Structures are given as C-alpha cells and as structure tokens.
Structure 1
Amino acid sequence: MKNKKSNHTATKVIKTYSLAEMKDKYIGKIGTTDRDEYEYELRMDVLGKMIKTARQERHLTQEELGKLVGVQKAQISKLESSANSATIDTILKVFKALKAEINFNVKLEDNFVKLT
C-alpha cells in the first residue's frame, strides 16, 4: 500500500505584538531607568529632526543658521543629529532664528502647566 501525501497544509499562527508590548519586553516597562533613557533619547532625536526640517524649509544652511544663533556650524549639525546635549537656551535661540513657535507642556504630578 502506498503512502498518500496529504494536500492539506497546516496553518501556522503567528503571534503579533503591539509597539507598546515590544517596548515593555525589550526596553523595559514605563518608569524603569532603561525605558526613561530610551524615551528621552527618542524625544531628543525627534527634536533634532524638527530643527533640521525647519532649517531646510527656510532654505538655510547649517552655517547660516549657526550665524543667526551665534554658534558654530558644528553645533547646529550636532543639534540636528540629536539635541540631547543642547541647553534649553540654545534650542530656544535656534527656534527663534527659524521663526518657529514653541510650546512647552510641563506636568508635575497632578498639576499641568502649559507655557506658550
């Protein structure tokens, strides 16, 4: 008697994960040191990209923006790659030179302060 091959193929179930679940699993849960560092670095990277985009939309070179702000081109380049080493003062000067509106939201426990 010959063995018959089944034409029926098994369906493999793949478990999917949300981004939040992946962050919790591989970076750490919200409130952990690793997760806080990750979120901070991510925000600084986004801020740097915002600076670069605003500069490019205004057709300025890094050198031209640096002159408007009073810093070297290298500092603008560093800001655009990640703003984590910049002072708030420098970031404010950059956005002012770019004629960009800045809003800050500060939450201290149950109190919420919005600075515009």
Structure 2
Amino acid sequence: METKGKNRTMTLGQLKDKHIGEVGTDDRDKYEFDLKLDVLGEMIKSVRKDRHLTQEQLGELIGVQKSQISKLERNAKNVTVETILKVFRALKANIKFSIEMNDGDYKVA
C-alpha cells in the first residue's frame, strides 16, 4: 500500500480489521467461524490421506456416501457434530471442542 510515496506494511490482523471488520463485530466473527470450519475440512482430508483411505472408504466406515465426505472436506458448514465425531473416530484421531459463552451466545473454538 502506498502512502505519500512511502511503503506502508500492514499486519494480517490490521488487514482483517480494515476489510472484514474488527474483532467482535458480526462480520469478523462470521469470517473467523467460517475459517475454522474450512480448516476442519482440511484437517479431515489430511488425516484421511495419512491413513491411506479414499473418500469412499472413509464413507463406508461411517455409513455415508463418498459425496458426503467430499462435501465435508470442502465445506464443513452443514455437518453435525455427531458426523464430525464419527469421522475422527473412524480415522482414529482425537478431536477436542471448546464452547465459549459471550453475552448468551455460544461459540465453538
């Protein structure tokens, strides 16, 4: 970013504050939550590959179609906690959830 002929460096946090919203705003909270779900999908894919399983094989282990595993790995937004737990049990991996209450709202961390 140019400012009066000088280079100005911004941190990732500053860029998020500027373009998404500051921490605690609805837009920023939604962004951070969606990001965590994207990371969760990537984690599932990574562990599945480490275990040398195809999407079809993992689906068979938990009783769903290959297409559902594919959707989960791409976008974990529309999945139940029960399904996520089944996936990680089938992958023989531990997962920990934490829930934080802020002003009556529940947030997954």
Q: Partner residue of 2:105? A: none
2:68 aligned with 1:75, yes or no?
A: yes
Runs of 4 or more above 3 Å deviation: none
Q: Distance in 1 between matches of 2:30 and 2:89?
A: 28
Deviations for 1:29-64, whole angstroms, at most 9, x for unmatched residues? 111111111111100000000000000000000000
User: Unmatched 5+ residue regions in structure 2?
Assistant: 103-109
1:94 pairs, out of 87, 96, 103, with 87
Q: Partner residue of 2:44? A: 51
- Bigger CA radius of gyration: 1
1:1-116 matches, cutoff 5 A: 12-109=5-102
Give TM-score, length-normalised by structure 1: 0.80
Q: Distance in 2 between matches of 1:48 and 1:72?
A: 16
Q: Distance in 1 between matches of 2:50 and 2:60?
A: 17
Q: Distance in 1 between matches of 2:69 and 2:28?
A: 27
2:29 maps to amino acid: D
